[in-house]
């Protein structure tokens, strides 16, 4: 197996459907684009991710997720404390995913899909299950909040339901 394939399998709940570095944001669904935008905006307000962004707060208020901006700030703080190298999180106008954003998206998607026990971050990030990493808990809270708001990462990779299953059982 090629090293790149092994890495994509390690960071994804579904190895056949992983995000990839340099993947255009236009290929992603709204949930992924919003998550990446949030991380990028948060990363720009300070080098260590301290504080929450008013711009992010407005975005989360529009989604009826008032706690969302604080969750992103908490995740950014955990990442900046845990990762011992500069993260590649560019400005919000960057058009493709970076390798670090891929790792974060795949991790959050795995948490949302209920495969959290199999979700892994880069070993250099010291992530492990059972809250032994500072990244684990904020990522899990953010993943659950996104799910509760109807934002599911990885939805663009899922095949649509057949027509009869997509229809409601009762029509009024």
pLDDT digits (tens, 9 = 90+) for 54-70: 899 999 999 999 999 99
Nearest to 19 by CA among 102, 94, 99: 102
H runs (alpha helix) in 14-169: 30-45, 54-62, 68-82, 99-112, 136-148, 163-166
Given a cut of 80, is residue 116 above it in pLDDT? no
Question: How far is residue 44's CA from residue 49's CA, in Å, rounded to a whole number?
Answer: 8
105 DSSP assignment: H
Six token digits for residue 26: 């236009």
Question: Does the pTM exceed 0.85?
Answer: no
**Domain coordinates in residue numbering, the chain:** 3-14+21-166
When the pLDDT of each residue in the chain is averaged and rounded to a whole number, the result is 78
Question: How far is residue 161's CA from residue 148's CA, in Å, rounded to a whole number?
Answer: 21
Average pLDDT over residues 118-139: 66
């Amino acid at each position: 197996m090629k090293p790149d394939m092994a890495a994509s399998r390690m960071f994804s709940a579904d190895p056949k459907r992983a995000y990839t570095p340099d993947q255009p944001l236009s290929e992603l669904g709204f949930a992924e684009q919003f998550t990446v935008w949030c991380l990028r905006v948060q990363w720009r307000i300070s080098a260590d991710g301290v504080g929450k962004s008013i711009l992010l707060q407005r975005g989360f208020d529009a989604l009826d997720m008032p706690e969302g901006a604080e969750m992103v700030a908490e995740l950014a703080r955990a990442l900046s404390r845990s990762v011992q190298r500069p993260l590649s999180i560019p400005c919000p106008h960057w058009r493709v995913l970076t390798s670090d954003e891929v790792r974060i998206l795949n991790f959050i998607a795995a948490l949302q899909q209920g495969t959290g026990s199999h979700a892994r971050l880069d070993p250099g990030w010291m992530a492990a299950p059972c809250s032994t990493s500072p990244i684990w808990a904020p990522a899990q809270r953010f993943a659950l909040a996104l799910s509760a708001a109807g934002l599911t990462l990885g939805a663009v990779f899922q095949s649509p339901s057949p027509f009869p299953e997509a229809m409601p059982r009762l029509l009024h």
